[in-house]
Chains A and B, each alone.
Chain A
Amino acid sequence: MSAKNMLFSGFGGQGILFAGKFIAYKGLIEDKQVSWLPSYGPEMRGGTASCSVIVSDTPVGSPIVSNPDILVAMNLPSLDRFEDKVVSGGMIFADSTLIERKVERDDVKVFYIPATKMASDEKLGNLANMIIVGKLLKETGDYTEEGIRAALDKVIPAKRANMKDVNFKAIQMGAEFE
């Protein structure tokens, strides 16, 4: 791998920016070059929120991901907007609780995860984002318990330390989901 260009997208409030930040921190801890760029326009208020994350072995050029290798789509508008942008041979992770349609392309690997339902069944509140993150790490070969724990230590402030285990559980559930 030289660089993974990732795009996280969904509604505001789904933890899109947090999920991206977690992935960036995990990369940083593992001595990768990383960048994280949020959408900050009026679109964040009610429409799609998204962030570009790049994890690379070499210095990151443009931090803007227009054609992702990996797309995380947590709602239908996100999939509608970005499906065609994913590079051929790329991956799409879709929250199938909220996205009823299937991905139309056949040149990308698609993973449907009913993350919102799984989170609600397991009383994991709004951690659908981290369930998808778990699946993403598993499928990209980046799932390491040590790295995940270290990254959670970075993104969750000390005063909310009790959230670390819950986040870890969500990630684990995603990774184990077939």
Chain B
Amino acid sequence: MADKILMKGNEAIAAAAIKAGCMHYFGYPITPQTEIAAYMAKVMPKIGGTFLQAESEIAAINMVYGVASAGKRVMTSSSSPGVSLKGEGISYLAGSDLPALVVNVQRGGPGLGGIQPSQSDYFQSTRGGGHGDYHMIVLAPASVQEMAELTVKGFELADKYRVTSMVLADGTMGQMMEPVSIEDLEVKPAPEKPWATTGTQMAREHNIVNSLSLVPEELEQLNFERYDRYKVIEENETLYEEYKVDDADIVIAAFGIAARVSKNAVDEARKLGIKVGLIRPITLWPFPKAPFKKAAEHAKAFISVELNMGQMIEDVQLAIESKCPVTLCNRAGGMIPDPEQVLNSIKEVNGGIA
């Protein structure tokens, strides 16, 4: 095994993307994800890749569209306000069934907001973000090693299903350093892309990549087919981690940094004899409904811990079919709940069910 080194989460994403064979990066700087662009700017020219700082986020996402059409692995990254700007392009990628990776290292919003960590783009990411009926595969890392692993996974899933993958991180994940091994990352080779617009060599019909479809019957059919694919993704690609859920009376739902804070609180609560566990969705779309549904068979209450005003809580309620109450434990605007706040929430909920 290769030596582990300390890397910022942002750098780990960039290094993992290159390891995954992504040779093309387009972006526009914004805190707290600028290290991704900085890493790419340093490395891409040395390995014959493309680093381009576009004139805007909108330009960058459309450059991604171009490279994706040509069948190459490609990515862009930004933070919340910048991702909103990319929304139109992400919708076009979906409408053209193009694989690409978009990274969102979230900061507090709405509007220009602040630069501190947030998870308030959950709705935007899991519901698509742009206009039209579509989904992205949304991956939520909770460690620097996962920032790297899920970047690779994002490319692989994007290629496999011809969808856009999003790595949805936050300012803490982007800025923190932890041990990570890039060399040991396993990368499956990219599949053939017979649909790519790579030139016919006068040997085949033209490939056309386009999201415009003016005949409603045909456009409806395209939507149906896309959703058939989404169904396969929902059946096969959910990822989650369970922590002390088996005997839990109270189950916490949390992803990313909120899950790490919650883990501390779970350990503290267990010391007090409270049976509490944690389900950490790793894919936010598709949402891992199954472990929640299963936990609802024995749990008496759920707590959703989020860095927003309560977004994932709706998916938790849906997953457990509102069988028991779900309480929100949150901070917003760039603030992070500390383990004590989560512990207090656990105690309060525990008092209510005792």
Chain A residues proximal to chain B, CB less than 8 Å: 21, 24-25, 28, 33-38, 40-42, 60-64, 66, 154
Other 16 A-B pairs with CB < 8 A, given A35-B177, A62-B257, A64-B172: A28-B4, A34-B6, A34-B179, A35-B176, A35-B178, A36-B178, A37-B172, A37-B177, A38-B175, A40-B32, A61-B263, A62-B338, A63-B172, A63-B260, A64-B336, A64-B338
Residue pair A61, B31 in contact (C-beta under 8 Å)? no
| Interfacial residues of chain B within 66-85, with CB under 8 A of chain A in the complex | none
Q: How far is the CA of A60 from the CA of B115 in the complex (A)?
A: 24
**SS of B interface (majority):** mixed
Q: How far is the CA of A40 from the CA of B267 in the complex (A)?
A: 29
Query: Whose C-beta in chain B lies nearest to the C-beta of A66?
Result: B338
Q: How far is the CA of A82 from the CA of B261 in the complex (A)?
A: 20
B250-284 vs A, Cβ < 8 Å mask (1 yes, 0 no): 00000001001101100100000000000000000
| Interfacial residues of chain B within 166-222, with CB under 8 A of chain A in the complex | 171-172, 175-179
Contacts of B177 in A (CB 8 A): 21, 24, 35-37
B260 interface neighbour in A24, A36, A38, A62, Cβ under 8 Å: A62
Whether B50 is near chain A, meaning CB under 8 Å from some CB there, is no
Contacts of B53 in A (CB 8 A): none
**B78: shortest Cβ distance to chain A, in Å?**
16
Whether B21 is near chain A, meaning CB under 8 Å from some CB there, is no
The CB with the most chain B CB atoms within 10 A, among A34, A38, A62, A63, is that of A62
Contacts of B179 in A (CB 8 A): 28, 33-34
Whether B116 is near chain A, meaning CB under 8 Å from some CB there, is yes
**A155: shortest Cβ distance to chain B, in Å?**
9
A34 interface neighbour in B115, B178, B263, B336, Cβ under 8 Å: B178
Q: How far is the CA of A63 from the CA of B257 in the complex (A)?
A: 9
Chain B residues proximal to chain A, CB less than 8 Å: 4-6, 31-32, 115-116, 171-172, 175-179, 257, 260-261, 263-264, 267, 336, 338-339
The CB with the most chain A CB atoms within 10 A, among B32, B175, B264, is that of B175
Contacts of A66 in B (CB 8 A): 338
Contacts of B175 in A (CB 8 A): 37-38, 40
Contacts of B6 in A (CB 8 A): 21, 24-25, 28, 34, 36, 154
Given contacts A34-B179, A62-B263, contact A40 B336 (CB under 8 A): no
Contacts of B338 in A (CB 8 A): 62, 64, 66
Contacts of B263 in A (CB 8 A): 61-62
**A87: shortest Cβ distance to chain B, in Å?**
13
20 contacts between A and B (CB under 8 A): A21-B6, A24-B6, A25-B6, A28-B4, A28-B6, A34-B6, A34-B178, A34-B179, A36-B6, A36-B177, A37-B175, A37-B176, A37-B177, A40-B31, A42-B115, A61-B264, A61-B339, A62-B338, A62-B339, A63-B260
Contacts of B171 in A (CB 8 A): 40
Contacts of A38 in B (CB 8 A): 175-176
Q: How far is the CA of A38 from the CA of B8 in the complex (A)?
A: 10
**B10: shortest Cβ distance to chain A, in Å?**
11
